[in-house]
Structure 1
Amino acid sequence: MTNKAVSKAKENMSKSIDVLRKELANIRAGKANASILSNVKVSYYGTDVPLNQVASINIPEARVLMITPYDKSSLDDIEHAINSSDLGLNPANDGSVIRLVIPQLTGERRKEIAKQVGKEAEESRIAVRNVRREAMDDLKKQLKANEVTEDEFHDVEDQVQKVTDSAIADVDKLAAAKEKEITEG
């Protein structure tokens, strides 16, 4: 039963880290990266669908994204979706493809983005600590109900703390890597 608590905590912490990975992938770092368009939804025949389902996204140059719609009639809808997103990008529509030039980041913008990365990382740390707290609360209930001994309680407590420390170290590594990408980009 106690190994289940550790496994469950580890699984939930991994989910928190996966969410952070996805959030960090969506943060623009001054280089062309198709993942910055992952949250863009295009109104396609009255239904909002992800951009990557109605067009191919290529990176012909380091700071250029080229979007080629599968259906040329959706070109204006794609352009509108990009303009409506909060990405701050200006699509250039030439009638068959849309080009997005990723602007060079200013020092001020880099600081803003680094702050956003820090905020996302802190939210993940909080989520990891909440998982730890839930696991410990469950374990304390088991101890009160005499389902686990004092020794088992302390062993599992140590295991949960090790898993927590590892998860927070992973969060810190991800955040540091993204901040480095932003400051060097």
Structure 2
Amino acid sequence: MSDDTASILKDAQSKMTKTVEVTKDEFTAIRTGRASAAMFQGITVEYYGAPTPLNQLASLQFPEARTVIVTPYDKTAMSATETALRESDLGVNPTNNGDTLRVVLPALTEERRRDYVKLARTKAEDGRIAIRGSRGNAKKAIEKLVKDGEIGEDEGARAEKDLEALTKKFIEQVDEALALKETELETV
């Protein structure tokens, strides 16, 4: 295999690896029965006119499985933090006691679990699409090398076969992560 095809495959592999990591990160943000810091990663608070991530404005404590105590570092950001939590897709209504916000996550209903499974499947499909996009770009680059005469057709076919194997491997990783998340969501 020439250096050109090896570098194309290596580039495709690194992009696919990143895609799998991003997909797994998105899965952690999907709520299960327990509260976790990952659930709050996507929440931004309007702080002095700038959208600021919640984890930069407040500390999160988890005294119980479904309870979160949010303590803003700056007390002037309390109402903005409360609003951001209320408007988030977590479906929570924080209780303000002056110094902290107490967030009790509601128990997941069967319908809500199904919604989260659908969301996980959507994110998994987005990951698969991104992996196939990386495969398409790499395939075009290999075909260009063959067309330009930089590599032979046999070598191009071999590289495409390796690319397909790589694609299959990474799509299986996304599917495995999805299966784990579905099991986690369906466990009461």
Fold match (TM-score > 0.5): yes
Count matched residues.
185
2:114 matches 1:111: yes
Q: Hey, what does 1:164 align to over in structure 2?
A: 167
Give the whole-Å Cα distance in 2 for the aligned partners of 1:108 and 1:49. 32
Q: Hey, what does 1:173 align to over in structure 2?
A: 176
Q: Hey, what does 1:38 align to over in structure 2?
A: 41
Structure 1 unpaired stretches of 5+: none
> Within 5 A, what are the aligned runs for 1:96-175?
96-175=99-178
1:58 to 57, 61, 68: 61
Q: Which amino acid aligns with 1:68?
A: T
Q: Hey, what does 1:81 align to over in structure 2?
A: 84
Q: Which runs of 4+ in 1 moved over 6 A?
A: none
The answer on whether the counterparts of 1:20 and 1:124 sit within 8 Å (CA) in structure 2 is yes
Counterpart of 1:58 in 2: which secondary structure?
A: strand
The answer on whether the counterparts of 1:34 and 1:65 sit within 8 Å (CA) in structure 2 is no
> Which stretch of the first structure deviates more once superposed, 52-61 or 25-34?
25-34
Counterpart of 1:90 in 2: which secondary structure?
A: coil
1:100-153 per-residue CA deviation (whole Å, 9 max, x = no partner) reads: 111111111111111111111111111111211211111111111111112321
Give the whole-Å Cα distance in 2 for the aligned partners of 1:28 and 1:170. 21
Structure-2-length-normalised TM-score: 0.93
Structure 2 unpaired stretches of 5+: none
1:32-55 per-residue CA deviation (whole Å, 9 max, x = no partner) reads: 011111111112222221011111
Q: Which amino acid aligns with 2:118?
A: K
Give the whole-Å Cα distance in 2 for the aligned partners of 1:21 and 1:133. 22
Give the whole-Å Cα distance in 2 for the aligned partners of 1:39 and 1:182. 19
Q: Which amino acid aligns with 1:71?
A: D
What displacement does 1:87 show?
2.0
The answer on whether the counterparts of 1:121 and 1:171 sit within 8 Å (CA) in structure 2 is yes
Counterpart of 1:29 in 2: which secondary structure?
A: coil
Give the whole-Å Cα distance in 2 for the aligned partners of 1:68 and 1:159. 51
1:183 to 168, 180, 186: 186
Q: In angstroms, what is the RMSD of aligned CA positions?
A: 1.3
Q: Which amino acid aligns with 1:29?
A: T
